[in-house]
């Protein structure tokens, strides 16, 4: 999806066990921490309303607090067979993150612009979305290029490691590193095109990298290096350039 997609497309399926668990967690959190919680929301694929996880997918829950360190601790746990990933963050710090364009932007932007409110009496979630979209509107092409370059370095290093491991017949480790290289290359593509994804799986699927082998990923990284050079700064540089940023 591009950086203009902001709203869930359909209503939630209230019979979905994931929604039922999400509501129970939200209610329990609000009972235990009534003075701490500014907003509670679902994010991730489930928040879009067209997710087909069928009750087997993960529930991403955001608890935004008035003060840093308030509320429950962040946690990941199965609840009645449903995996819940609980993000707890101070509201101001989360807004600061939403104003940041970094190497992982294609994998984080969706949680700022697509949420389902379970508790939001002050309209903070809309402010979160608006802050992020305003930041994107102000972002210069060079910022996305710089972030893409950092993601490219991560992908290149993972690909090089995967190739060496394959030569040493360390097949399992090579496959793990190849997976990292695929995801990093997908984030580079997202940054160069100002496109974000719902999750890592969506990233590699939409960029055609889900089943890419070592040679194909290497070719993608090679083309990305050429594009980054065309944007004004090659991925290779001198010692002086390294030390001066």
* pTM greater than 0.85: yes
DSSP result, 142-197: HHHHHHHHHHHHHHHHHHHHHHHHHHTT-HHHHHHHHHHHHHHHHHHHHHHTTB--
Instruction: Give CA–CA dist 189/95, Å, rounded.
Output: 25
Instruction: Give CA–CA dist 83/63, Å, rounded.
Output: 16
Is there a contact between 145 and 229 (Cβ–Cβ < 8 Å)? no
Handedness of CA 162, 109, 2, 150 (dihedral sign): negative
Chain centre to alpha carbon of residue 220: 21
- Domain spanning 17-138 has what CATH number? 3.30.460.10
Strand order in the sheet with 37-43: 75-79, 82-90, 59-65, 37-43, 115-119
Instruction: Give CA–CA dist 148/155, Å, rounded.
Output: 10
Query: Beta-carbon neighbour count of residue 141 at 10 Å?
Result: 11
Instruction: Give CA–CA dist 181/176, Å, rounded.
Output: 9
**pLDDT tens digits in sequence order for the chain, 245 residues long:** 655 444 555 556 667 899 999 999 999 999 999 999 999 999 988 898 876 554 457 899 999 999 999 999 999 999 999 999 999 999 999 999 999 999 999 999 999 999 999 999 999 999 999 999 999 999 999 999 999 999 999 999 999 999 999 999 999 999 999 999 999 999 999 999 999 999 999 999 999 999 999 999 999 999 999 999 999 899 999 999 889 87
DSSP result, 68-134: TT-SSPPEEEEETTEEEEEEEEEHHHHHHHHT---TTHHHHTHHHH-EEEEE-TT-HHHHHHHHHHH
Q: What is the DSSP letter of 61?
A: E
Tokens representing 182 are 């695929």
Chain centre to alpha carbon of residue 104: 6
Q: Which residue ranges make up each domain of the chain?
A: 17-138, 141-244
Helix, strand or coil, per DSSP, at residue 140: coil
């Amino acid at each position: 999806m591009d950086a203009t997609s902001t709203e869930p497309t359909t209503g939630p399926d209230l019979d979905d066990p994931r929604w039922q668990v999400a509501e129970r967690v939200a209610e329990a959190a609000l009972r235990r921490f009534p003075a701490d919680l500014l907003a509670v929301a679902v994010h991730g694929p489930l928040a879009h309303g067209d997710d087909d996880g069928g009750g087997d997918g993960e529930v991403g829950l955001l608890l935004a607090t008035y003060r840093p360190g308030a509320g429950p601790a962040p946690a990941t746990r199965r609840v009645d067979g449903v995996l819940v990933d609980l993000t707890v963050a101070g509201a101001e710090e989360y807004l600061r993150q939403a104003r940041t364009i970094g190497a992982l932007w294609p994998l984080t932007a969706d949680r700022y612009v697509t949420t389902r409110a379970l508790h939001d009496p002050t309209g903070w979630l809309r402010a979160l979305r608006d802050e992020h979209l305003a930041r994107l509107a102000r972002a210069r092409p060079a910022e996305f290029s710089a972030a893409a370059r950092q993601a490219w370095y991560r992908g290149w290093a993972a690909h090089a490691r995967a190739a060496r491991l394959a030569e040493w017949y360390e097949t399992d480790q090579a496959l793990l590193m190849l997976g990292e290289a695929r995801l990093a290359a997908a984030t580079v593509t997202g940054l160069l095109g100002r496109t974000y994804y719902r999750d890592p799986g969506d990233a590699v699927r939409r960029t055609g990298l889900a089943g890419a082998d070592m040679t194909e990923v290497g070719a993608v990284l090679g083309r990305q290096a050429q594009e980054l050079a065309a944007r004004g700064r090659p991925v290779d540089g001198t010692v002086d350039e390294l030390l001066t940023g």
